[in-house]
Structure 1
Amino acid sequence: MSKVMKTIGPKLREWLLAQPMFVVATAPSEGGHVNASPKGMAGTFVVLDPTTVAYLDYTGSGAETIAHLRQNGRIALMFTAFEGPPTIVRLQGRGRVVIAGEPEFDLLRPLFSKERELGQRSIIVVECDRIADSCGFSVPHMEFVAERDLLDRHAARRDQAHYDRYWVERNAVSIDGLPALPVREADLR
């Protein structure tokens, strides 16, 4: 039986922070493509207060979450226990994008792991209006082996100029043509 909670209490906070991955889901207001994006890497998710969470967003092949949040703000984060008691927790609410280089980004960034600075493009902040768990009885029991270091190794071979170009070329609009990362005049040179 699912339970809806008013806040993220200490026990739930500890559980959320212990999960090695979660899935982010967003969608455009009308038509278009629904997006579900897995997230991982220790130290990239934080609980800011009893109803607010955030995660560090790294450069990816698309920028659907950013585009959808800029358009309508709707977001859901789903955490699943692969070890221990079967549990699923969904954090649903309104999200906003804090772009790297903005003053708020600089305030929030120290809350995350100090590693992995190259390639970070934003912090996604979610104000949760629904916090609910469910049984997870059908989720397989799996063993966490290790984090992948592919993103870290990829970033180590790049410099900021690479990301500046990539964001303009690949992350400025969503697959449905919605604005995603802002393009500055300097980025076009």
Structure 2
Amino acid sequence: MGKRLDLITPELTAFIEKQKIYFVATAMSHGTVNLSPKGMDSFRILTPNRVMWLNVTGSGNETAAHLLENERITIMFCAFDGKPLILRLYGRGKAYHHYDPEWDTYFPLFQPLPGARQIFDIAVETVQTSCGMAVPFMDYNHEREELTRWAEKKGDEGIQRYWEEKNTRSFDGTETRILG
């Protein structure tokens, strides 16, 4: 059954490193709750209480906006094969953008992805496991390439224009700081 822990254990680290998908949830004190799937080998564990992920350009930029107003964030992993498990990381997050000095420090931790727009840094406060026995078995086929091809075709200048047009404000109209 479920457990609450103060840190990510070595066993949970091994579980996380095998996962192909994870989910990120944030919310401000008003407006929508955002829940997004993530993948693309974009997640890193720095310490048992600190994780990061490299975020690529998308149609919205909710996580960045939400964390400016409310640092709370939840990351969830599910076992879609093997032993059932749901793992949630609860913590406080912040975004680093290309113009932040932290970007140059942390970007080399990741495989470069076209259209990379933020690195999210999460201080993990609570780790919670639950059974996951209702999660279905699913087979991993392969990564989607559409987003990578789209970003490569746009190029750096096209991505910058896209950010200006689509990513400066959340769906609720809140600033994201994507441009500084």
1 CA distance for matches of 2:144 and 2:160? Answer: 24
Contact 1:58 1:122 in 2 (8 A): yes
Percentage of pairs with the same residue: 42
Q: How far off is 1:79 after superposition? A: 0.3
| Structure 1 residue 182 displacement after superposition | 3.9
Q: Give the Cα separation in 1 of the matches to 2:151 and 2:159.
A: 9
Q: Give yes or no for contact 1:9–1:50 (8 Å, CA) kept in 2.
A: yes
Q: 1:1-189 alignment to 2 at 5 Å?
A: 1-30=1-30, 32-42=31-41, 44-113=42-111, 115-116=112-113, 118-183=114-179
Distance 1:134 1:148 in 2: 29
Alpha-carbon spacing, 1:147–1:182, altered in 2? closer, same or farther (3 Å): closer
Cα contact 2:151–2:159 (8 A) shared by 1: no
Give the aligned residue type for 2:155: D
Asked if 2 retains the 8 angstrom alpha-carbon contact of 1:86 and 1:136, the reply is: yes
TM-fit CA distance, 1:158: 1.5
Q: TM-score, structure 1 length as denominator?
A: 0.92
Shift of 1:88: 0.4
What do residues 141-174 of structure 1 show as CA deviations (whole Å, max 9, x unaligned)? Answer: 1111111111121122121111111111111111
Distance (whole Å) between structure 1 residues aligned to residue 172 and residue 154 of structure 2: 28
Q: CA deviation at 1:101?
A: 3.1
- 1:183, distance to aligned residue in structure 2 (A): 3.4
Structure 1: gaps (5+ residues): 185-189
Taking only aligned residues, the RMSD between alpha carbons, in angstroms, comes to 1.1
C-alpha contact 1:63 1:181 (8 A) present in aligned 2:
no
Q: Secondary structure at the match of 1:159?
A: helix
Query: Which string of whole-angstrom CA distances, capped at 9 and with x for unpartnered residues, describes residues 84-130 of structure 1?
Result: 011000001100000123210110011112x42x2011100111111
TM-score for the superposition, normalised by structure 2: 0.96
Question: What runs of 5+ residues in structure 2 fail to find an aligned partner?
Answer: none
1:2-35 deviation digits (Å, cap 9, x = unpaired): 11112112221111011000010011112x1111
How far apart are the structure 2 equivalents of 1:128 and 1:183? 27
Conserved in 2, the CA contact under 8 Å of 1:24 and 1:77?
A: yes
**In structure 1, C-alpha distance between the alignment counterparts of 2:127 and 2:75, rounded to whole Å:** 10
Q: Distance in 2 between matches of 1:34 and 1:148?
A: 26
